Structure 1
Amino acid sequence: MDEDMLDIAEVAERSGLAPSALRFYEQKGLISAAGRNGLRRRYDPATVDRLALVTSARNAGFTLAEIAELLSAKPADSALRERLQAKAADLEERIAQLALMRDSLLHASVCLHDPLVDCPDFWRFVRSARPRPPA
């Protein structure tokens, strides 16, 4: 079974993360080595999927503490479920803002106004993309 294990260099290559990031994530409890082969850490291949989740969550704005909590979540953790729902709502708002910004940039790429920033349609998109104050 040890032949299925990946060393730290293989996990780094497959995940796109530096070995130092893997050691840092291990120190934070987000991943764990299954053992060592000499001085090199060895990981279960599922670690690559776990790192994809960590990377995705980081890109979505999760803190390392939030990721650690998510990775250790149990079905009965209703407080965590509420926080995850709130995080999902925040992401929905960010997605909407990013979509509007994307639309403004796409419009600017074909707009004939000179200069581009004088275009009222461009500003309509930009104004729509502003974050809304909390209710």
Structure 2
Amino acid sequence: MCNALPVMNQHKNKTLATFLATFFGSFGAHRFYLHGKKDKWAWLHLVLFPLSIFAGFIGALIIGLTPDEKWDAQHNANSGRQSNSGWLVIILVVLTFAGGATALIAAIARTFDLLFTGGAYG
């Protein structure tokens, strides 16, 4: 008779994944946390660093706004635990949205400065 135990996967914390995407998403930290070192998209973040700043913000919004049930089905199917995200995830989503909007407005303003004034204001 075989007494094999079910394989338990490591529980992926949604709050930690959102934090990593918010503050270190431009380096692909959230993708390395979720998918490991073999994730090609995470390595692409490191290669395309300036563009991946916005990708990190978008990743943080997607992770933070994913319902806990869907998160667990995708990342914690065999962990034996359930996620229970609290207010910290909401605060991180708000900070991500504010940071992303600020970065986007700054990029648009700098582009217009370069295009229309030749960079006279910076």
TM-score, normalised via structure 1 length: 0.33
Q: Structure 1 or 2: larger helix share? A: 2
TM-score normalised by structure 2 residue count: 0.35
Larger radius of gyration: 1
